[in-house]
Amino acid sequence: QVQLVESGGGLVQAGGSLRLSCAASGLTFSTYAMAWFRQAPGKDREFVTIIGSTGISTRYADSAKGRFTISRDNAKNTVYLQMNSLKPEDTAVYYCAAGRNYYASGQAAFAFWGQGTQVTVSS
């Protein structure tokens, strides 16, 4: 049974930082690209960032570029999202997802999803 379990969300003041983690099991983690998506209240789920299976290649949405950093530790089957300089508009449920194609960023390209973790950024 494939499981992706996010953690690290919470309440933070604008300008602060959080690090999200996503622990994977039940799949060959090192063969999957791993991505983060987010969904704000009343909004569609949107792509945030993705990292290739080896951890060398990364891609970011414009909203995340320069503030967020995705990384992975294949020995720990874990992907991370370091979020700095947080803004109220970053408030959302953050989901990790696993997919076979690094070059795809649509939701349908990702076979496995975590349960999400809430990030709330106050002014």
- The residue to which tokens 């499981």 are assigned: 3
What is the pLDDT confidence band of residue 7, given thresholds at 50, 70 and 90? very high
What is the pLDDT confidence band of residue 101, given thresholds at 50, 70 and 90? very high
Virtual torsion, Cα 68, 10, 24, 1, nearest 10 deg: -140
Residue 83: Cβ within 10 Å count: 25
Mean pLDDT over 90-113 rounds to 95
The pLDDT mean for the chain works out to 97
What is the pLDDT confidence band of residue 104, given thresholds at 50, 70 and 90? confident
At residue 49, the pLDDT reads 97
Task: Examine the pLDDT at 12 and tell me if it is beyond 90.
Answer: yes
Q: 3-state secondary structure string, 36-53? A: EEEECCCCCCEEEEEECC
The model's pLDDT over 50-71, given as tens digits with 9 standing for 90+, comes to: 999 999 999 999 999 999 999 9
Q: Do residues 102 and 57 make contact, with C-beta atoms less than 8 angstroms apart?
A: yes
What is the pLDDT confidence band of residue 91, given thresholds at 50, 70 and 90? very high
At residue 71, the pLDDT reads 98
The helix (run of H) or strand (run of E) holding residue 12 is strand 10-13
Task: Examine the pLDDT at 79 and tell me if it is beyond 90.
Answer: yes
At residue 112, the pLDDT reads 97
Q: Do residues 48 and 60 make contact, with C-beta atoms less than 8 angstroms apart?
A: yes
Mean pLDDT over 27-46 rounds to 97
